[in-house]
Amino acid sequence: MARGPSDTIIALASGSGRAGVAVIRISGGGSAALLKGMTRLPTSGTGEAGGGVSRETSSTFPRPRHAVIRTLHDDQGGFLDEALVLWMPAPHSYTGEDVAELHVHGGPAVVEAVIGAALKTRLCRIAEPGEFTRRAFDAGRMDLTQAEAIGDLIDAETEGQRRQAGRLYQGEAARVFEGWRGLLVSAMAALEASIDFPDEADIPGEINLTALEPIEALAVDLEAALGDAGRLASVRDGFRIAILGPPNAGKSSLMNRLARREAAIVSPIPGTTRDVVEVRLVLAGYPVWVADTAGLREAADAIEAEGIRRALTRAEEADLRIWVSDASDVSRETSSTFREGDLRVLNKADLLNGDSPPLAGSEDVFVVSARTGAGLDPLERRLAQIVRDRLETDEAPLVTRARHRELVEEALAAIERGLEGARIGIGAELVSEDLRLAARALGRITGSIDAEDLLDRIFSQFCVGK
């Protein structure tokens, strides 16, 4: 069968497995016929209930957007399930097409039977992953950022991810991008007016540096948003913590404690962890990746040297570093790369016989025992607090996806080139070209690009024309 987007698709919209209710969604031109067939209504004639007062009976087609109870049958007339049925005709539906939703009893067998019976009518096929959203986007029901956000919403596992995707979905990000683009178009209008209407009395002749002031400010905002982008990428992709320290300090043991499972091999032989092992946890509602690394010391062989190199790279990229050392043997500490904000863990507290190790008691130094679990609670609390502090803010998340980031970077580069050009006195047409490229890059995020905007601005700001 040829698969075109015009055909009707069906899929389980809620999660699979046993549940109270399962929602099956159908979208496309064949939805009405399919629904009629399954609810045993004559397939010819509209069958639609008339005005709002007509009584819903099981022999009428459901009114748009009214929940009704219907018995679903297979093609032999056999009973499938009693379902709550919702009919949402085009264009006011999620996909912009005719959509029917069947809320059936949530057992896997029921779902399978209903979808199986629907497929048997040959009026529909199983939807491909993301196809409902894809159709909604194709129908212009949402812009690119919103479509992307829906993907994020569905994928959201943590509260932080959900909040961020929600803001993107509500079009907040799109509004900000459009606002930025608007600033560029305004500034261009001034430049373009001086180019296209130079004889007009009220239009400044030279490049008007005051017209570019909002663009200077915009450059700062874009930079901030990109800096912010690191934080927001963390919300999406996870906050990264690297565990570092000399061999045998108990790094792998500590990670296993944090992960509450045996992710890394713990061994008394120094240099056992040769590669980077990562586990994923949720702290303060955010996804966190904890990486266990090879111990830092003079490498005994090439493989270990490679492990150490990777450990250092990971340390460099991490959002937070935890330096582990053996509390009973702090002499072997390698803290050359210790940075402000890093945490220090003195492990093997159980071997201390009550002695207090050096540094104990200072801020962000934790004395723990990976073996007994002593001292781990304060460490975990501190980690959660750091993650929350760094990822949570009230500001709208902006640049979260790689695609957006690239385009914002492109815009910023063009803006900086243009501003620099204006400062050294290059022509208005060149400054304007850079602003145009910047506006176009931003427009590509939400998908709106329009040259008429510019002339509209010019005509509303200046009295032009002879």
Partner 1 sequence: MITNTFDVIVIGGGHAGAEAAAAAARFGARTALVTHKLSTIGEMSCNPAIGGLGKGHLVREVDALDGVMGRAADRGGIQFRMLNRSKGPAVRGPRTQADRQLYREAVQDILREYPNLTLIEDGVEDLIVEHDRVAGVIGQSGRSWRAGAVVVTTGTFLKGLIHIGEKRIPAGRVGEAPAIGLSDRLYGLGLTMGRLKTGTPARLRSSSIDWSGIEMQPADADPIPFSFLNDRITVPQIACGITWTSAEVHAVIGDNIHKSAVYSGAIAGRGPRYCPSIEDKVKRFADRDKHQVFLEPEGLPGSEYGDTVYPNGISTSLPEDVQEAFIRKIAGLERVEIQRFGYAIEYDYVDPRELTPDLAVKKLPGLYLAGQINGTTGYEEAAGQGLVAGLNAARFAAGNDPYILDRSRAYIGVMIDDLVTRGVSEPYRMFTSRAEYRLTLRADNADQRLTEEGVSAGVVGSKRREAFHVKRSSIDAARERLQSLTLTPNEARAQGIHVNQDGKRRNGLELMGYDAVDFAKLRAVWPELSDVTPQVAEQMEIEAQYAGYLDRQEADIVAFRRDEDMRMPADLDYRAIGGLSNEAKDKLSTVRPATLGQAARIEGMTPGAITAVLGYLKRAAKKSARG
Ligand X SMILES: Nc1nc2c(ncn2[C@@H]2O[C@H](COP(=O)(O)OP(=O)(O)O)[C@@H](O)[C@H]2O)c(=O)[nH]1
Residue 292: both structure tokens together? 């266990």
Q: Which stretch binds partner 1 (CB under 8 A): 285-293, 327-335, 381-389, 432-440?
A: 432-440
Residue for token digits 């003195």? 346
**Binding status of residue 351 toward ligand X by CB under 6 A:** yes
Query: Could you tell me the two tokens for 264?
Result: 């890394």
**What are phi and psi for residue 442, nearest 5 degrees?**
-65, -40
End-to-end C-alpha distance for the chain, whole angstroms: 64
In the complex with ligand X, which residue's Cβ is closer, 321 or 444?
Answer: 321
Phi and psi angles of residue 241, each rounded to the nearest 5 degrees, phi first: -115, 135
For residues 327 and 216, what is the distance between their CA atoms, to the nearest angstrom? 52
Which range of residues in 4-12, 129-137, 264-272, 274-282 is near ligand X by CB under 6 A?
264-272
Among 26, 232, 249, 290, interactor with ligand X by CB under 6 A: 249
Asked if residue 369 binds ligand X (CB under 6 A), the reply is yes
Nearer to Mg ion, 77 or 268 (CB): 268
Distance CA 124, CA 116 (A): 10
Q: Which does 371 bind (CB under 5 to 8 A by kind): ligand X, Mg ion, partner 1, none?
A: ligand X
Q: Which residue is nearest to ligand X (CB)?
A: 250
Interface size with Mg ion, residues (CB under 5 A): 2
CA 151 to chain centre: 8
**CA separation for the pair 100, 208 (Å, rounded):** 57
Work out which of 71, 158, 272, 334 binds ligand X, going by CB under 6 A: 272
The two structure tokens encoding residue 27: 């979208």
DSSP sequence for 155-212: H--SHHHHHHHHHHHTTHHHHHHHHHHHHHHHHHHHHHHHHH-TT-TTS-SS--GGGG
The 10 Å Cβ neighbour count of residue 17 is 10
How many residues sit close enough to partner 1 to count as binding (CB under 8 A)?
A: 52
Residue 276 is a binding residue for partner 1 (CB under 8 A): no
Using alpha carbons, list the distances in angstroms from residue 278 to 243, 288, 319: 10, 10, 14
Sequence length of the chain is 466
Q: Is the Cα torsion angle 157, 159, 163, 166 positive or negative in sign?
A: positive
Q: Cβ of residue 42: shortest distance to partner 1, in angstroms?
A: 26
Pattern of binders to partner 1 over 136-175, x per CB under 8 A?
A: -xxxxxxxx--x----------------------------
Q: Tell me: does residue 128 bind partner 1 (CB under 8 A).
A: no
Q: Which is nearer to Mg ion, 225 or 296 (CB)?
A: 296
- The binder of 239, among Mg ion, partner 1, ligand X, none, by C-beta within 5 to 8 A per type, is none
- For residues 226 and 240, give the distance between their C-alpha atoms in angstroms, rounded to a whole number: 18
Nearest residue (beta carbon) to Mg ion: 273
Q: Would you count residue 195 as binding partner 1 (CB under 8 A)? A: yes
Q: Which stretch, 55-63, 112-120, 136-144, 369-377, contacts ligand X (CB under 6 A)?
A: 369-377
Residue closer to ligand X, measured from CB, 11 or 368: 368
Out of ligand X, partner 1, Mg ion, none, what residue 447 binds, judged by CB under 5 to 8 A for its kind, is: partner 1
| Edge-to-edge order in the sheet of strand 125-126 | 68-73, 79-88, 99-105, 21-27, 9-12, 125-126
Backbone angles phi, psi at 217, to 5 degrees: -65, -40
Binding mask 71-100 for partner 1 (x = CB under 8 A): --------------------x---xxx---
Lookup result for tokens 């760094």: 390
State which residue, 116 or 198, has the beta carbon closest to partner 1: 198
Q: Are 332 and 326 in contact (CB under 8 A)?
A: yes
Residues 29, 33, 34, 37: what is their CA dihedral angle, to the nearest 10 degrees?
A: 180
Tell me if 375 contacts partner 1 by CB under 8 A.
no
Shortest distance (Å) from residue 280 CB to ligand X: 19
> Is residue 370 at the binding interface for ligand X, with CB under 6 A as the rule?
yes
Q: ∠ CA(202), CA(203), CA(206), 5° rounding?
A: 140
Which string of x and - marks every residue 244-273 that binds Mg ion (by CB under 5 A)? --------x--------------------x
> From ligand X, Mg ion, partner 1, none, which one binds at residue 276 (CB under 5 to 8 Å depending on kind)?
none
Residues that bind Mg ion (CB under 5 A): 252, 273
Residues that bind partner 1 (CB under 8 A): 2, 4-7, 28-29, 91, 95-97, 134-135, 137-144, 147, 188, 192, 195-202, 427-430, 432-433, 436-437, 447, 450-452, 454-455, 458-459, 463-466
Residues that bind ligand X (CB under 6 A): 245, 247-253, 266-268, 272-273, 295, 347-348, 350-351, 369-371
